[in-house]
């Protein structure tokens, strides 16, 4: 671990030897928070101006009594904030697990080093190409590549994998954005991935509570709390200005974790010219092969300090939307269709669909879970998922224009914080959705999708942008692909 962790790439971001997670402050805020309906409504109103909340304001939201009607106001505000920033779009992607070798001993994870019940794999070049082609042939345009934390999945292998992925073309399709979920890396390594074309770099802290962190991560590279804590800082210094953070609900007090996410956001904004996380994810612990800790945590969601039952989970998601109103929010296929359906109205902007988290399983489908990190709940196909979204009045977006035109980092944040990003993203969503409907959709999905496109076009104000979008749409209908504003 000492050859990987670079203490100077931690200390450079600290202040007087301290990091930005103030355990005593968090505990005091949670202990002293008192419910005040008038102040709560002021905080909700502030969030609706797309202004990030402060730690004490987030803590005040946690103090709303569980049965109080103000929670309905929180949910409604979260939905309005999402619509004002991102419009009616839901971005979709697929996870592609490349390797499951791991040096860590995370107690909740099926990939942990001592788990002998799991089949270890690292995909060869040929297997990577087969997996990507299988994903492209059903219509995917965005992937998040997931790598175990192991020397055989170092940054050079990650960069090599990205080059392979970007080189795959099948029919009219290809992968246009490759996000990475991998171990914390050095600034030098991240600069290499930046040059290859990394999308969003994801590293989840899992828990910001140091005591819980130490218990859940007893050994391995992941045992180093601060090396992981400053992964996003190093990425942004390396030029990777779209970063994704997250916590694993079920480990510790969910309120503490949300304060950690907010403190993390505040520190990034302070150091990087107002640029915070591009996305926030909030998975819950799910059962995993031969992993009693995960089985227990997943089955007792209604008890203990990590209590995150379905209702609590929905409230936590809504609070995150108010805390950081401009960021993208991801709820994965760990969650059931019922939960994902509910959260559509609570600020969610991204979903994975047609997911398979077994290493090498897109091209070799089976019921064998021995290559998986955990067990998925929502296993619908991409087409089924898109049809569901359309039935709920949502347009599925495969757009990658912002990233390819440099609308990332500070430029993206400046537009998102003003609620203006949807004015470019809406027509681009229409264009990419039309590609999907023409090339991959079932007749039932195409019928619903065409109606959604008609409605979305009607919502674009007359003018040069709409005229250009209509021109590009006609070219797509005539056979061209990958057109965007």
Asked if 357 and 334 touch (Cβ cutoff 8 Å), the reply is: no
Among left, alpha and beta (phi > 0; psi -120 to 50; other), residue 406 is left
Determine contact, residues 107/218, Cβ cutoff 8 Å: yes
d(CA 381, CA 10): 42
By three-state DSSP, how is residue 145 classified? strand
Q: What is the pTM of this model?
A: 0.93
H or E element at residue 270 = helix 254-271
- pLDDT score at 399: 87
Q: How far is CA 47 from CA 33, 42, 265, 274, 345, in A?
A: 19, 9, 15, 17, 16
- Contact criterion met (CB below 8 Å) for 425 and 364: no
Hey, is 354 helix, strand or coil? Answer: coil
**Residue 392: its pLDDT value, please?**
95
Q: What local confidence, expressed as pLDDT, does residue 418 receive?
A: 59
10-residue mean pLDDT series, the chain (485 residues): 81 96 97 96 97 98 95 97 92 95 92 89 96 97 96 96 97 96 97 96 97 95 97 97 94 96 98 94 87 66 65 96 96 93 93 91 69 76 97 93 65 58 80 97 97 94 91 96 89
Check residue 110 and give its pLDDT: 86
Which structure tokens are listed for 66? 């569980």
DSSP 144: E
pLDDT of 300 reads: 47
pLDDT at res. 411: 60
CB 78 within 8 A of CB 329: no
pLDDT at 485: 82
Cβ atoms of residues 371 and 123 within 8 Å: no
CB 115 within 8 A of CB 292: no
- Half-sphere CA count of 50, side-chain side, radius 13 A: 18
- Report d(CA 327, CA 455) in Å as an integer: 25
Q: Contact at 8 Å (CB) between 260 and 208?
A: yes
In whole angstroms, give the CA distance from residue 169 to residue 163: 12
Q: What is the pLDDT of residue 39?
A: 97
Beta strands in 398-472 (DSSP E): none
**Nearest one of 86, 143, 173 to 429, comparing CA atoms:** 86
Q: What is the DSSP letter of 223?
A: G
Tell me which DSSP letter residue 221 carries: G
């Amino acid at each position: 671990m000492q050859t990987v962790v670079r203490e100077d790439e931690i200390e450079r971001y600290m202040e007087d030897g301290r990091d930005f997670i103030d355990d005593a402050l968090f505990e005091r805020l949670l202990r002293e928070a008192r419910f005040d309906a008038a102040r709560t409504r002021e905080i909700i109103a502030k969030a609706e101006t797309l202004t990030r909340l402060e730690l004490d304001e987030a803590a005040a939201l946690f103090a709303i009594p569980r049965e109080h009607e103000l929670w309905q106001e929180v949910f409604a505000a979260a939905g309005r904030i999402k619509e004002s920033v991102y419009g009616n779009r839901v971005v979709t992607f697929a996870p592609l697990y490349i390797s499951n070798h791991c040096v860590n001993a995370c107690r909740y994870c099926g990939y942990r080093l001592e788990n002998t019940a799991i089949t270890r794999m690292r995909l060869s070049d040929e297997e990577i190409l087969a997996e990507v082609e299988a994903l492209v042939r059903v219509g995917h345009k965005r992937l998040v590549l997931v790598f175990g934390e192991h020397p055989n999945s170092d940054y050079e292998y990650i960069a090599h994998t990205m080059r392979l992925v970007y080189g795959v073309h099948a029919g009219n399709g290809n992968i246009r954005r490759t996000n990475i979920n991998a171990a914390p890396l050095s600034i030098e390594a991240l600069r290499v991935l930046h040059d290859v074309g990394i999308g969003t770099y994801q590293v989840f802290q899992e828990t910001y509570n140091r005591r819980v962190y130490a218990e859940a991560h007893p050994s391995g590279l992941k045992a180093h709390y601060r090396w992981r804590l400053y992964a996003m800082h190093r990425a942004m210094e390396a030029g990777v200005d779209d970063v994704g953070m997250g916590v694993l609900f079920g480990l510790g007090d969910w309120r503490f974790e949300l304060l950690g996410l907010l403190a993390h956001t505040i520190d990034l904004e302070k150091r990087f010219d107002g640029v915070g996380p591009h996305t926030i994810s909030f998975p819950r612990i799910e059962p995993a092969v031969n992993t009693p800790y995960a089985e227990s945590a997943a089955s007792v969601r209604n008890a203990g300090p990590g209590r995150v039952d379905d209702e609590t989970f929905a409230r936590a998601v809504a609070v995150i939307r108010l805390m950081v109103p401009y960021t993208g929010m991801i709820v994965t296929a760990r969650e059931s269709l019922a939960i994902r359906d509910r959260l559509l109205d609570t600020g969610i902007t991204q979903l994975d669909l047609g997911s398979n988290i077994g290493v090498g399983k897109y091209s070799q489908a089976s019921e064998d879970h021995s290559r998986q990190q955990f067990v998925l709940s929502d296993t619908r196909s991409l087409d089924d998922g898109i049809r569901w979204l359309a039935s709920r009045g949502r347009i599925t977006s495969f757009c990658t224009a912002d990233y390819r035109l440099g609308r990332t980092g500070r430029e993206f944040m400046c537009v998102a914080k003003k609620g203006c990003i949807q004015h470019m993203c809406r027509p681009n969503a229409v264009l990419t959705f039309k590609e999907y409907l023409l090339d991959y959709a079932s007749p039932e999905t195409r019928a619903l999708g065409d109606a959604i496109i008609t409605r979305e076009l009607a919502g674009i104000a007359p003018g040069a942008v709409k005229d250009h979008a209509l021109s590009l749409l006609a070219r797509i209908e005539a056979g061209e692909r990958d057109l965007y504003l």
